[in-house]
Chains A and B, each alone.
Chain A
Amino acid sequence: MPLDHLFFKRDVPFHLLEVDLVRASDDEMRALSREMGLSLSLEEMQRIRDHFLGMGRRPTDVELESIAQAWSEHCCYKSSKVILREHILGIDNGRVLSRGDAGVMEFDEEYGYALRIESHNHPSAIEPYGGAATGIGGIVRDVLCMGAQPVALIDPLFFGPIDHRGELPPGTKTPKYLVSGVVAGIRDYGNRIGIPTVCGGLYFDESYLGNCLVNVGCVGIVRRKDLRRNAVGGVGDRLILCGGRTGRDGIHGVTFASAELSSKSEEESRGAVQLGDPITKEPLIHACLEVSSLGLINGMKDLGGGGLSCVVGEMALAGGCGAEVHLDRVPLKESGLAPWEVWVSESQERMMLAASEENVGRILDLFAMWDVEATVIGNVVPGNEVVLFWQGEKVFRVDLDFLTKGPEYCRPCRVEVRSSGERALAPTLPPLGQAVLDLLGDPNIASKEWVFRMYDHEVRGGTVVKPASGVINKAGPSDATVIRPLPDRERGLALALGVNPWFCGLDAFRGGMSAVDEACRNIIAVGGRPDSLTDCLNFGNPEKPERLGELREAVAGIGRVASFLELPIPSGNVSLYNETSRGSVLPTPVVLGLGLVEDVRRCVTTDLKRKGNLLYQVGETKEEMGGSALYRRYGGKGGTVPDVSVEVLRRSMEQMHEAMVKGSIASCHDISDGGLAIAVAEMCLGGDIGASIEIGPPVRDLFSESNSRWVVEVEPGRESEFLGSLTVPVRRLGRVGGRALSITMEGGTVRVPLKEMRKAWSGALDRLMG
C-alpha cells in the first residue's frame, strides 16, 4: 500500500519525517504500523493521532517510534498488567527494599540483595549466540542499576527435542544448533564479565521447536545505603550516557518481541538482535559501582528495550521532572543514523547516570580511567515533558504522562482445565529397572554437566553449594545452589528454579502453584528459608483467549502459593507472543526462588553420605501422574496434575527447616521430575553408593510427581530427633548402602546397578551434543 503521501520531510539537513495520521484511513493506519515496525494496533494509532491533533501538529517519526516502544507489550505489559496486579504485584512481607528495574530485598541489616529474571526468547531464536549473550548483558544491567554488584547468573533454557530429526517449521533452526549457540553465548559473555552462572535448567519439548525460550536471571548484592533509584535526583541533574556506543544494532527489539515469530523473522528482524561486548561491560560494571559507592550519582538506569526512548522518560518521570536531550551528542558506532534510530536503538552495554553538575568532572575522569566512554547528553528540567534536539532543531516533544501511561487491556480469556484423572491413559511400561534407566537418560533429567562445566560457576569465590554435589568427579545434581556473597559473613543466598511446563500445559493453575512449590522445596533442601521470588512468564499470543487464559491461571497459581507463604515477587518479566504458525509454546512460568541461609556452614547437599544411614520420604505421594516424566516418556495421556496444599506446604517447609537447623539431616533431595525413583537414584549417584528402599504400588510410589516432598538421609542416632521435628507425613524408605538401587515391593525386588545408572545419566547429553 503506497503511504508516501502521509510522510512530510521537514526542511532540515538530516532525516526527519512528519507523519500525517489525520489523513490516513484505517487501512493506511494499520499499514503504517506494519511498515514502520511499530507493532501498534489501530486503536493505539488512533489514540496517538488524537493526541497530536489536540496539540495541533503532526507527530515526527522520532515521536511515533518512541511511543511504539513505550506502548509495546514488552515495555508496558498492556495485556498482562491487570492479571499481575490482581494476583502477584501486591504481595509484601515488609522486607522489600525496592521494586525497581530489579527487585531488592533485605539481606541483613547492612545489605540488600537484588533479583530479577527476564526473557531473551525471540533474539535467541534468530541468533542464538548473540541473543543469549545480550540477554545476560541486559539482566546484569538491571541489577547493576540498583547499585548492586552482580553475584550470580541463572539460565533456564527451553528447546525442541535435542535429537529432533524430522521437518522443522519454516525459518527455524535445529534444537542442537540453538542449544550450542545459546550455551556458548552464555558461556562467553558470563565467563568474561566474571559473574558466576550458578543455576539453570535445560528443558526439551516439541512445543519449543519453533520458538525456543532463553530466560536469564541475575542476583546482586548492595550495601543498603548505596541502593540507587532508577530516577533523576531533580532539576539541574546532568544526564550522562556511558558505556558502549549507539548503532543500528537492536532497532525494534521490543516491538519484535511483541509479535509472533514467522518464517520471515530471520531476514526481517536480524537487525533487532543486538551485539554484545562483555569487555565493555566488565569495566562498565566497575565504573558504575565506583561512582555509585562514592556517592557521585543521584540515579542510574540501564538502557534495555526501547533504548534511550525508554530510559530518559522513565528516569525523568520517576524523579518528577522533565528532560532535555541533545540527541546529536550521543556517541555513535557509525555516522548517518537518523534521530529516531539513535533514540530507539537498543545497542548494548549502555547505562544512564543522573548526577549533579559538580560531580560530573570526577565521574568522567573515573570512566576515562576504565576506558569507558561517558558523555553528558542532556539536562533534567522542570515540567513533565521530554524534548529532543538534533543540531539545534527540536525533533521531539512529548508529554511523559501520555508517553509512559501506555494502554492497558483486559482481553478475553478462556480457561480449559485439562487436568482430569478420568481421561487418564496409563502408558505401557517396560520392566521397572529399565524405566529407571530410561528416565535417568532422558534429556530432561540426565546430567547437565556438559553445560555447567562450560560456565564458570565458581568465579568470585563464594559458590558454596555448586550445581553438582557429591564425590569429586562423580557428583549428582544439587537442588538449590548457595552463594556466600560477602567475604566477611557466613550468611548465604540459596537460588533455585521452579517450572514444569508439562503440568502447566494440562492445568496452568496447578502448574503455577507447582512452580513455586518446587522452588521452595529446593531452597528448603539445602538448608535455606524461602524469602522472595522473581518470575519470567513465557506464554503465547495474548490476543488468543485460550493463551491469555493460560497466563491468567498460571499467575493465579503462583500468586496463591506466594501470597500464602508471604513471598514477595518484587520483579519479573512477561514474555508473550512465543508462538509460531504451528502453535504456542507450552505455558512456561519460570519461578526463581531466593532463600536466605543463616549460616552456610550448615548447608545440606543431595549426595548420600554414609552406608547404614536411614532414608525417609517426607510428604505424601498421590496418584498424580499427569504431566509426569514417566507419562511423557512412554506415551501416557492426561492424568491428574499434582496439586498443592498451601497449608501442608508451609508446615512441611517449617518442619524441614527446623530439622535442618538442628543438623538432623545428612542429605536431602526434593522429589520432582521422575518422582521418587529418580530422586533416590540421583542421591546414589552423587554419593557413589547404593540404597535399598521399600515401596507400595510401584508406578505411583516411584514415579508420581506429587508436590511438597523430599527424600531425607538421617544417621541412625538422630532418627528420633528428626522424627520429633515432623508432624507432616513421613515414611521410612530404607537404608543407604550397596552398589545398586534396590527397590522392594509386593512380589519382589528390582536391582538397578549404580554403574548402569551412572552410564545412563552422565553421558546422555554428551552423546546427544556430540
Chain B
Amino acid sequence: MMREVKVCVLRIEGTNCEDETYQAFASVGALPEKVHLKQLLGQCPSDLRRELEDYDILALPGGFSAGDYVRAGAIFAARMKSGLRRELVSFVEEGRPVIGICNGFQILVELGLLPALDGTMSEEPQAALYTNDSGRFECRPTLLRQENGGGCVFTSELPEGSIVMCPSAHAEGKLMLPRGRQKRMLERLLENDQVVFRYVDPEGRYAGYPWCPNGSLHNIAGICNPSGNVLGMMPHPERALIWETHPDWTRWERRGEGDGLSIFRSAVRGVR
C-alpha cells in the first residue's frame, strides 16, 4: 500500500485559494487538510489542535491574508514567525516540501524561507515582491518555462525547458532583489539552480508585458530554496488542474489534465 501523504493547507483570514489548493493535492492522491494557523498555535478548541510535524507537506495558498494591508504576506509571516518558527525551520531542514503560491510566495519571502541564500531562514526578507509595472491587479494567463535542473521536488515530473500554462492573478508579483546586490544575488540564484519558472511567450522567449505580467527581474515567476524543497511562485498551478481551465482549451485536442497538476504530483511522489 502506498504511504499516506498528509498535506497541511494553511490559512488565516483572507487566505482564499485553500479550496483549490486542497483539491490539487487531493487530485494526486494525497490527504490534504485545511488548517487554520490558530490550530497550529493552539488557539482553538482542543479537538481542533494540530501539529505541523504531523504533516508531510506544507502549502501556503494564495489570497489576501489579513487583507494584505501592510505588505503582501507580511502579517501572516509575522504570526508564523512569532509562534511557529522552530517547527517551521525543522520542517524545512528535514527536507519536507513547502509550496507557497501567489500570496503564499509573498509569505515565504517575508518569512525569509526564500530565497534563503544564507541558511534555512533569513532574519530579514532578502527579496520582495513589488507592485506590478502596470500598477494594476493583473488576472491573465501566463506561460512558464521550467528551468530547474532537477533539484526542485516540485518539478521532478516536469522536464527542464518545458512550457506550462498557469494563470496569474496578483497586484504585487514583481520579484526584486536589494539594490546594489541584485546582480550578485541573481547570479547566486542561478548558480544554486534556484530559478524554477520564468515567464515566456508561446515561442519560449523571455517576453515583456503581457507575457510577463509584472515586470519581474529576469522574468522570474518562481524560485526554490537551495535544497529545492521550498518553492514559491506567483502563478497559480492549482487553477490549472484540468484541461478545461486552460484559457484556449477549446482550440486544441483535449489533453488528459491541466498543466498545473504535475507540480503537486511531483511533490507527493517525492515524499512517497
Contacts and interface: CB of A to CB of B under 8 A. Distances in A.
A461 B245 contact: yes
Given A279-B67, A466-B247, A472-B248, A458 B136 contact: no
A468 B140 CA distance: 10
Interface stretch (A155-163, A191-199, A222-230): A191-199
A459 B140 contact: no
Contacts of A283: 13-14
B13 A282 contact: yes
B247 A472 contact: yes
Nearest to A197: B139
B211 A473 contact: yes
B4 interface: no
Given A192-B67, A279-B14, A453-B140, A461 B247 contact: no
B145 interface: no
A278 interface: yes
A26 B210 CA distance: 65
B141 interface: yes
Given A453-B140, A458-B139, A472-B143, A464 B241 contact: no
B19 interface: yes
Interface string B146-177: 00000000000000000001010100000000
Among B16, B26, B143, B167, the one with the most A-chain Cβ atoms within 10 Å of its Cβ is: B16
A472 B167 CA distance: 11
Interface string B4-17: 00000000011011
A192 B244 contact: no
A472 B202 contact: yes
Interface in B77-101: none
B244 A369 contact: no
Interface string A461-472: 111101011111
Given A279-B64, A461-B23, A487-B23, A605 B13 contact: no
Contacts of A191: 64, 137, 169
Nearest to B24: A461
B262 to A, nearest CB: 16
Contacts of A453: 136-140
B271 to A, nearest CB: 22
A278 B23 contact: no
Contact of A454 (B27, B137, B165): B137
B254 interface: yes
27 contacts: A191-B137, A194-B16, A279-B66, A365-B44, A369-B38, A369-B45, A371-B13, A452-B139, A453-B139, A456-B139, A456-B169, A458-B167, A458-B239, A459-B16, A459-B17, A459-B239, A460-B20, A461-B23, A461-B236, A468-B247, A469-B250, A470-B251, A487-B20, A603-B250, A609-B250, A609-B251, A667-B250
A187 to B, nearest CB: 6
Nearest to B202: A472
B245 A463 contact: yes
Contacts of A667: 250
A343 B140 CA distance: 44
Contact of B250 (A194, A484, A487, A604): A604
Contacts of A609: 250-251
B48 interface: yes
B13 A370 contact: yes
Contact of A369 (B43, B239, B243): B43
Among B13, B69, B169, B236, the one with the most A-chain Cβ atoms within 10 Å of its Cβ is: B13
Interface in B247-272: 247-248, 250-251, 254
A396 B224 CA distance: 63
Contacts of A371: 13, 38
Given A192-B67, A459-B16, A369 B48 contact: yes
A473 B140 contact: yes
A461 B143 contact: no
B248 A461 contact: no
Nearest to B67: A279
Nearest to B48: A369
B56 interface: no
Interface in A593-610: 600-601, 603-605, 607, 609
Interface in A577-605: 600-601, 603-605
B238 interface: yes
Contact of B44 (A280, A369, A458): A369
Nearest to A195: B16
A475 interface: yes
Nearest to A277: B67
B36 interface: yes
A279 B12 CA distance: 10
Interface residues of A, number: 46
Nearest to A371: B13
A454 B136 contact: yes
A464 B245 contact: yes
A49 interface: no
Given A194-B16, A459-B20, 18 more contacts: A191-B64, A279-B14, A282-B14, A282-B16, A283-B13, A370-B13, A371-B13, A460-B17, A461-B17, A461-B241, A464-B244, A464-B245, A472-B165, A487-B23, A487-B241, A601-B243, A603-B244, A609-B251
Interface of A: 187, 191-194, 278-280, 282-283, 365-366, 369-371, 452-464, 466, 468-473, 475, 484, 487, 600-601, 603-605, 607, 609, 667
Contact of A461 (B20, B63, B67): B20
Contact of A457 (B38, B139, B211, B248): B139
Nearest to A474: B248
B68 to A, nearest CB: 8
A605 B167 CA distance: 19
Contacts of B48: 369
A471 B137 contact: no
A194 B143 CA distance: 23
B18 to A, nearest CB: 9
B137 A456 contact: yes
Among A280, A453, A468, the one with the most B-chain Cβ atoms within 10 Å of its Cβ is: A453
Contacts of A463: 245
B139 A607 contact: no
Contacts of A455: 137, 139
Interface string B214-227: 00000000000000
A469 B250 CA distance: 9
A187 B135 CA distance: 14
A282 B136 CA distance: 22
Contacts of B64: 191-192, 278-279, 282
Among A454, A459, A462, the one with the most B-chain Cβ atoms within 10 Å of its Cβ is: A459
Nearest to A278: B67
Contact of B63 (A194, A369, A469, A607): A194
A511 B32 CA distance: 50
A600 B251 contact: no
Nearest to B210: A473
B169 A458 contact: yes
Nearest to A466: B247
Interface in B186-214: 202, 210-211
A194 B64 CA distance: 9
A152 B194 CA distance: 37
Contacts of B250: 469, 603-605, 607, 609, 667
Contacts of A457: 139
Contacts of A193: 16
A461 B137 contact: no
3 interchain residue pairs of minimum CB distance: A194-B16, A461-B20, A279-B67
B45 to A, nearest CB: 5
A471 B251 contact: yes
Nearest to B19: A460
Contacts of A471: 248, 251
A556 B211 CA distance: 48
A465 to B, nearest CB: 8
B16 A472 contact: no
A370 B67 contact: no
A203 B239 CA distance: 30
Contacts of B236: 458, 461
A484 B141 contact: no
